[in-house]
Amino acid sequence: MSFLALPSSFTSSLSLDMAFRRILVFSKLYTKSWGDPIVLRDLREYWHQVMSQGKVIDILDAYEKNPMIISKTESEANAIIMEGHFQSPHALEFPKHMPGPLQKAHWRGVFPKNERKGLILHLAGTGDHTYFRREKGFVVDLLKETGTAGIMLDNPFYARRKPPNQFRSSLWNVSDLFVMGAALMAESLYLLRWAYAEGYWPLGISGVSMGGHMACLAASNAVFPVVVAPCLSWTTAAPVFTSGALSCAVPFDEVLQKQLNDPVYREKLEAIPNSKWLDRAKARQEENKQSLARNLMWVLMHDFTDLGQYPVPSDPSLVHSVVAERDYYVLREGTSHLTELWRGATVEMIPERGHVSSYFACHAKFRSAIAGRVEAAQSKYPKPILLS
């Protein structure tokens, strides 16, 4: 979908989404490369053998002596505030994917002082380098309203886990996003397993925008029923980076197409077993006449982010997604519907709003979606499912 092809009803929401993109999120993405072909090869193999098979939990088991470190505990009037960290299981499996500060997964949690009820893990959206908005917009109120505890996790490549010299959220390589996703899947399951051991039930995972999509990826590999409340996300990131508002932040011609023009780099990509990424991108290019770089972006995003490439959560009825009708960041046209991929899941539409206006104005609706699924899980699974 191009800017000119959008219906007139999208005009105001589109204007706000694009203005926010230009003014507040002005940095470029993927300014160095597609990524090291060795990293892309590792990720493709890991997706095929582990993530797409629902076996991320096996990675946690392989590093079962990976300790949780509680670094801070504070008592407030009605809550306990804790901070901690642990080694990312993905970094233990692939240390070269996550050098230096990326390896340590930092988190902050807000817990009830008395009875331990449900717990939601809140993942960060694009550009969210602090806990402030998640804590004030979600965690504190959910604890007050429902007794649900909350944990906020730092994304790899963000906040304290940002590589030296990276400018805020401007990931250098396309492969960085896929490393982030793989790492968050394992880290999220680690935290949910820890929360289970601490007596919290039911458990869930949520996030806004990119955080919502990462929540879905993590939930796909959970081996127990888990609440999932993705907000302002969808079933694939392919159109996000090829057609949506963020696509203008990607240097397709200046960087990515130039790298594809290098025969040595192309040869290395073509040598990745069973990927056929370039062949598939060329086939798409013949149909849509767009650049090879833009088509390769679509192919890679489809393989690594499309929910159809991952298992269905064990209980899709605990999944409730909230989307914006006029979202120009997360495009849904031409993609699989969530309820087709995860039968039993539900989708709620915010009418007349775009991505940015919904993000700033609809926290109450997002909290309601989370609380509703937690209540459903408490009714359906009043006692914790025995985890092996």
Rounded to whole angstroms, how far apart are CA atoms 180 and 185?
9
> How far from chain centre, in Å, is Cα 191?
15
Question: Residue 245 and residue 241: Cα distance in Å, rounded?
Answer: 8
Cα–Cα distance list, 253 to 18, 256, 258 (Å): 21, 6, 7
What pLDDT shows up at residue 387? 72
Distances (CA, A) of 178 to 49, 171, 300, 380: 15, 11, 9, 34
pLDDT in tens, 272-321: 999 999 999 999 999 999 999 999 999 999 999 999 999 999 999 999 99
Q: Which of 9-23, 104-118, 141-155, 253-267 has the lowest mean pLDDT?
A: 9-23
Give 172's DSSP letter.
S
pLDDT digits (tens, 9 = 90+) for 234-259: 999 999 999 998 999 999 999 999 99
H/E element holding 317? Answer: none
The stretch 325-354 carries a mean pLDDT of 96
pLDDT surpassing 60 at residue 229: yes
- pLDDT attached to residue 20: 55
Contact between 313 and 222 under an 8 Å Cβ cutoff? The reply is yes
Q: Is 285 exposed, middle or buried (0-12, 13-18, 19+ CB in 10 A)?
A: middle
**DSSP letter (8 states) at residue 3:** T
- Side-chain half-sphere of 346: how many Cα atoms within 13 Å? 10
Residue 49 · residue 94 · CB < 8 Å:
no
- In this prediction, residue 14 carries a pLDDT of 52
Question: Is the pLDDT score of 15 beyond 70?
Answer: no
pLDDT > 50? residue 107: yes
Q: Is the pLDDT of residue 18 over 60?
A: no
Cα(31)–Cα(34) distance, integer angstroms: 9
Whether 39 shows a pLDDT value over 90: the answer reads yes
Q: What is the 3-state secondary structure (H, E, C) of 78-130?
A: CEEEEEEEEECHHHHHCHHHCCHHHHEEEEEEEEECCCCCCEEEEECCCCCCC
At which residue do the structure tokens 């073509």 appear?
Answer: 270
d(CA 117, CA 319): 19
Q: Are 88 and 98 in contact (CB under 8 A)?
A: yes
Burial of residue 70 (number of CB atoms within 10 Å: 0-12, 13-18, 19+): exposed
Residue 22 has a pLDDT of 54
Q: What SS3 class is residue 259?
A: helix
Pairing of strands 119-123, 227-231: unpaired
The structure's pTM equals 0.94
Q: Which fold has domain 8-380?
A: Rossmann fold (3.40.50)
**Res. 137 pLDDT band, cuts 50 70 90:** very high
Handedness of CA 346, 350, 355, 357 (dihedral sign): negative
- 3: confidence class by pLDDT, cuts 50, 70, 90: very low
**Per-residue pLDDT band at 169 (split at 50, 70, 90):** confident
Share of the chain above pLDDT 70, in %: 93
Mean pLDDT of 163-192: 94
Q: What is the per-residue pLDDT for 132?
A: 94
DSSP result, 204-250: EEEEETHHHHHHHHHHHT-SS--EEEEES--S-SHHHHHTSGGGGGS
pLDDT at residue 49 greater than cutoff 80: yes
| 202 — pLDDT class (breaks 50, 70, 90) | very high
Integer Cα distance of 150 and 96 in angstroms: 31
Percent of the chain beyond pLDDT 90? 87
Instruction: Answer for the pair 89, 187: CB distance below 8 angstroms, yes or no.
Output: yes
Contact 222, 380 (CB under 8 A): no
Q: What is the pLDDT of residue 16?
A: 58
CA dist 119 → 18, 113, 201, 203 (Å): 35, 13, 7, 5
pLDDT in tens, 67-96: 999 999 999 988 999 999 999 999 999 999
Q: Is a pLDDT exceeding 80 seen at residue 149?
A: yes
28 versus 122: the higher-pLDDT residue is 122
d(CA 230, CA 204): 11
pLDDT score at 24: 41
Give the pLDDT band (50/70/90) at residue 167: confident
Domain limits, the chain? 8-380
153 burial class (0-12, 13-18, 19+ CB within 10 angstroms)?
Answer: buried
Which pLDDT does position 19 carry in this prediction? 57
- Average of per-residue pLDDT values in the chain: 93
One-letter amino acid identity for 87?
Q
